[in-house]
Structure 1
Amino acid sequence: MIQQGTSVGRLELGPVGIALDVLPGDEHLAQAAELEHLGYRAIWLPGGQIDDLSQISKIIYATTTVQVGAAILSVDRYRPETVAAFYGEMQGAAPDRLVVGLGGPQQPKPLQVMAEYLTSLDTSDPPVPAARRMLAALGPRKLGLARDRCAGAIPLLVTPEYTASARQILGWEGDLVIDQMVVLDTTASRARETARGPLRFLSTVSGYPANFARMGLSADDISGLSDRLVDALIAWGDMGSIVDRITSHLQAGADQVVVTVLSQDRQPRIMDVARGLAAHLPWWSSSS
């Protein structure tokens, strides 16, 4: 079992990953194979779209070397023995390619509940080692738990300044993976309206409003989803603007930035953005 204060990273995920939507049929499996061909070393599946753990294994089987992460599995939904059995299956079929991202719980004493869940994973047969699991974390106590009991943390909806402060808590041995939402659109009103889509829900989820406030956003910014809040949390504009935000997180201490593409109507979608960003991968790989 991992002891308090013991760091267990690194996952070596590469500097840029892509969040891949689970689509009807097999379209996303072909997209996963293309992402691997483009040079991405990690693909993340949004936890809210994972109805069955087999959706993760299908991505693993559709690719050959890329690491596949769940971002994230809710501990309120998936029992530790189920996650452990799935990890064991994937470890046997494709060693060290599954990254178990965990989040929640939405219940009283969440830190205690999460710590007990991680202990169950430590002692399962087979165990899920701390070195192959990540924790969705925002506040300092949750980041501390990620540092002590996991390979690292996956924060969402944060600024580069937050990234720098999270790195100080995690130290330099744990992995810090930043999930950055982006909109590839230079029309401000249209891009911001797309960005507000997930913000309308996430700004009501426990933990996010408090973290927005910690990052210097006012109560009016948060309640009104102001332009200031949108611009701080969501990268929008041309490809150069998105590259700049990714680079800012990497320079602030992120090991990887996971790009989550938001789009509606004719705005560029996941693969359009991923192909454009791929041209920058050699530069990121040599500079990170």
Structure 2
Amino acid sequence: MELSGVGVWSQHLRYGDAAEAAEAAAELEELGFRALWIPDIGGPVFDAVGNLLGATRQAVVATGILNLWMHAPEDAAASFASLSAEHGDRFLMGIGVSHAPLVDASEPGRYRRPLAAMGAFLDGLDGADRPVPRENRVLAALGPKMLETAAKRARGVHPYLVPPEHTRLAREAVGDGPLVLPEQTVILCSTRDEARAIGTGWLGSYLGLPNYAGNLLRLGFTQEDVDSVSDRLFDALIAWGDEEAIKRRVDEHRAAGADHVCVQVLTADQNAFPREEWRRLGPALR
């Protein structure tokens, strides 16, 4: 499994119409995107992985991330083995601990000791009848302890909602061997006002989650930046402008140590597949 170049991170490939997701996946592969990343907040995530693998020939399909609170490791390992047997070595299992407000919403108090929970989940994958190999899993890691765990027990890290500065810190933390695979949110637009109209509310919903807010505070942003979704913070987390502006940000992640960058496209209609935007970005980022 080769993880280089640029990929796409998309909720639409996971939660949109399955037939359109398969059609879009095939086109994304033709456009040169090397990996397709999908989120997980519970439900049949492995069906979605299988749908995308079946629609493509070479692209890696990755969970970004598999929510460990919502899956038993033995079931995840069995699904991994089945999908790999059918589609070859193209499924990358990104695993994460998610966020307390989301996990505790259905079962208060369930989210506790996330680092220990990650260790137990990885133990379960290692101890399954058909284990998930270390080289086929990466961890959603923001802070130092989870980065350290990823360097020891996975192929690398998949940080979400991070600026290139975090990519640099992640590379320093994991060293030269493990992969660093950040997500980068992007908006193709002409003006700051347009970017703000599309992205401010979206970003604000993430900044209410403590793991993201805490990571940004560690990076030197202020509580005022987080609370107000300041221009400084907005510009650090969302690359906006034309294709060249997006490419510059991807290149900044590469210069900071990223092996692969997956772009998440935001549009005014966030329920619609951003097919035209993907078509514009494919040639520019390839």
* Superposed pair shares fold, TM > 0.5: yes
Q: Which residue, 100, 125, 129 being the options, matches 1:125?
A: 129
- Residue by residue over 1:48-76, the C-alpha shift from the partner in whole angstroms, topping out at 9 and shown as x without a partner, is 48644211101101111111001111001
How many angstroms does 1:265 deviate by? Answer: 4.4
In the alignment, the residues of structure 1 paired with residue 125 and residue 268 of structure 2 have an alpha-carbon distance, to the nearest angstrom, of 39
For 2:19, the aligned partner's letter is: D
Q: Where does 1:23-34 land on structure 2 (aligned, <5 Å)?
A: 23-34=16-27
In the alignment, the residues of structure 2 paired with residue 123 and residue 49 of structure 1 have an alpha-carbon distance, to the nearest angstrom, of 23
Confirm whether residue 91 of structure 1 aligns to residue 84 of structure 2. Answer: yes
2:154 match: 150
Alignment: residue pair count: 272
Confirm whether residue 216 of structure 1 aligns to residue 220 of structure 2. Answer: yes
For 1:44, the aligned partner's letter is: W
- 1:115–1:132: structure 2 CA closer, same or farther, 3 Å change rule? same
Q: Which residue, 176, 179, 184 being the options, matches 1:180?
A: 184
Q: Which residue, 130, 133, 140 being the options, matches 1:136?
A: 140
1:101 match: 94
Q: Identical aligned pairs, as a percentage? A: 37
271-280 vs 124-133, which moves further? 271-280
Q: Tell me, what secondary structure is at the counterpart of 1:158?
A: coil
* Unaligned 5+ runs, structure 1: 1-10, 283-288
Contact 1:15 1:250 in 2 (8 A): no
Query: Taking structure 1 as the reference length, what is the TM-score of the superposition?
Result: 0.89
- 1:15–1:84: structure 2 CA closer, same or farther, 3 Å change rule? same
Query: Taking structure 2 as the reference length, what is the TM-score of the superposition?
Result: 0.90
Q: Which residue, 259, 269, 281 being the options, matches 1:277?
A: 281
1:161 match: 165
Confirm whether residue 79 of structure 1 aligns to residue 72 of structure 2. Answer: yes
In the alignment, the residues of structure 2 paired with residue 215 and residue 50 of structure 1 have an alpha-carbon distance, to the nearest angstrom, of 33
For 1:17, the aligned partner's letter is: G
Confirm whether residue 189 of structure 1 aligns to residue 182 of structure 2. Answer: no
In the alignment, the residues of structure 2 paired with residue 170 and residue 124 of structure 1 have an alpha-carbon distance, to the nearest angstrom, of 26
2:56 match: 63
In the alignment, the residues of structure 2 paired with residue 275 and residue 228 of structure 1 have an alpha-carbon distance, to the nearest angstrom, of 29
257-266 vs 203-212, which moves further? 257-266
How many angstroms does 1:117 deviate by? Answer: 0.7
How many angstroms does 1:205 deviate by? Answer: 1.5
1:19 match: 9
For 2:210, the aligned partner's letter is: S
How many angstroms does 1:25 deviate by? Answer: 4.2
Give the alignment's Cα RMSD to 1 decimal.
Answer: 1.9
How many angstroms does 1:234 deviate by? Answer: 0.6
How many angstroms does 1:269 deviate by? Answer: 5.9
- 1:206–1:55: structure 2 CA closer, same or farther, 3 Å change rule? same
Contact 2:77 2:132 in 1 (8 A): yes
- Residue by residue over 1:159-204, the C-alpha shift from the partner in whole angstroms, topping out at 9 and shown as x without a partner, is 1121111101111110100100011112212212322233222112
Q: Where does 1:44-55 land on structure 2 (aligned, <5 Å)?
A: 44-48=37-41, 51-55=44-48
How many angstroms does 1:139 deviate by? Answer: 0.5
Confirm whether residue 239 of structure 1 aligns to residue 246 of structure 2. Answer: no
